[in-house]
């Protein structure tokens, strides 16, 4: 808000001239006006992110999957001992993983919305894979941390590990 400043010359007692400064504000009090709080994503908005990721797996294109990860993402994958912290490492993992034609299904999920730009989806899922022409099921625990970047939800952290009692 910009204040408007006006001055006037007047005569004060004793014949001395003085400058009086009047400061005025435009109508409306900006001090009491606040920006609306950012809209929090719904649990459904966050749950849909897995569907988007799973659909990217179905394309068989590791770059389409990697596009869903933030540039500084961390991937702790289900069927690899290596932590992936660069896009090239994430693409490398999915080049191998996608050969088994994975199809994921969430069995149990817990979604926590942290703020308008951050959410976590964690739980249990399984993958149906095809290895050497044979169907295989892998049960795993997972955590996705999502961050809203330029209007798009990206995976900031993805941890997936095979169930220990499976």
In order of their start, the domains of the chain are 43-162 (3.10.450.50)
How does pLDDT run across 26-54, given as a tens digit for each residue? 444 555 677 787 899 999 999 999 999 99
* Average confidence score pLDDT of the chain: 85
pLDDT at residue 19, rounded to an integer? 36
With 50 as the cut, is the pLDDT of residue 56 above it? yes
Q: Measure the CA–CA gap between 129 and 108, rounded to whole angstroms.
A: 19
How does pLDDT run across 109-143, given as a tens digit for each residue? 999 999 999 999 999 999 999 989 999 999 999 99
């Amino acid at each position: 808000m910009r204040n408007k400043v006006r001055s006037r010359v007047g005569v004060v007692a004793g014949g001395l001239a003085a400058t009086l400064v009047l400061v005025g504000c435009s109508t409306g009090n900006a001090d009491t006006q606040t920006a609306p709080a950012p809209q929090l994503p719904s649990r459904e908005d966050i749950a849909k992110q897995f569907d988007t990721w799973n659909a990217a797996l179905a394309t068989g294109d590791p770059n389409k999957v990697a596009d869903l990860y933030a540039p500084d993402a961390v991937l702790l994958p289900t069927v690899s001992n290596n932590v992936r912290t660069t896009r090239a490492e994430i693409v490398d993992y999915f080049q191998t993983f996608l050969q088994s034609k994975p199809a994921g299904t969430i069995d149990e999920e817990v979604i926590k919305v942290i703020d308008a730009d951050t959410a976590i989806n964690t739980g249990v899922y399984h993958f149906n894979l095809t290895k050497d022409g044979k169907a295989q099921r892998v049960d795993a625990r997972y955590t996705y941390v999502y961050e809203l970047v330029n209007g798009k939800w990206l995976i900031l952290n993805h941890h997936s590990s095979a169930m220990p009692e499976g």
